[in-house]
Amino acid sequence: MERFVSIGEAASALGVSITTLRRWEAAGKLVAEHTAGGHRRYDMSKLRPEMFRSEADAQRRTIAYARVSSHDQKDDLERQKQVLELYCARQGWTFEVIADLGSGMNYHKKGLKRLLDAIIDGEIGRLVITHKDRLVRFDAELVFAICEAKNVEVVSLNQGEDTTFEEDLAKDVLEIITVFSARLYGSRSRKNQKLLNSVKKAVEDAQA
């Protein structure tokens, strides 16, 4: 199939009516290109990317990544893995699950490092996550930028707020406080130590 096709050919390839395709375009779900003569053309490499993947792309893996912050969230980690496995299986994808147990502010987790190495090496074609905060707490957009540069499709199952956001964030903040407390304790700064203890207590009280 040609990469740029007419509205009728695009509708046929997607299995929908021309009216539906026009409705999707009006809603911003897809964007048509325009020829020099003003005719609409649809980029099938975006609408049906699987039709244009090279043999090398087809061999790249699908990775599902799950993470929780602490050991007492192991049940949540298992639920994440089950959700990811079920979704990938329903899509008919051959996949592997990478799971991490550690703070979203820790960029040195074994699973995350393994994932990033595989992305950079061009071994992964698709990354599936339940929510962007499962990757890292901050700067997830940087990881997504790397994925885009390496032509990795990112599938985030939950576009809204992560259901464990507050709990995870509190744990991550406490981890930062613990690290700073250890450093400031060595400096014998009573004022700084008292301030950190107050912040830590406030975070713990908010969790209660």
For residues 148 and 103, give the distance between their C-alpha atoms in angstroms, rounded to a whole number: 25
For residues 123 and 104, give the distance between their C-alpha atoms in angstroms, rounded to a whole number: 24
Looking at residue 131, its pLDDT comes to: 85
Looking at residue 108, its pLDDT comes to: 79
Which tokens belong to 104? Answer: 């979203």
Known catalytic residue: 69? yes
For residues 89 and 81, give the distance between their C-alpha atoms in angstroms, rounded to a whole number: 12
Give 17's Cβ-side CA count (13 Å radius): 3
Q: How far is CA 113 from the centre of its chain?
A: 15
Return the H-helix or E-strand segment holding 195. helix 190-207
Q: Which residue among 17, 69, 103, 198 is the active-site one?
A: 69
pLDDT in tens, the chain (208 residues): 577 888 888 888 888 898 988 888 888 877 888 887 888 888 887 777 666 555 555 578 899 999 988 777 888 889 999 999 999 998 888 899 999 988 766 677 899 999 999 999 989 999 999 888 788 766 678 888 999 899 899 998 875 555 555 555 555 565 555 555 555 555 555 655 565 566 556 655 655 5
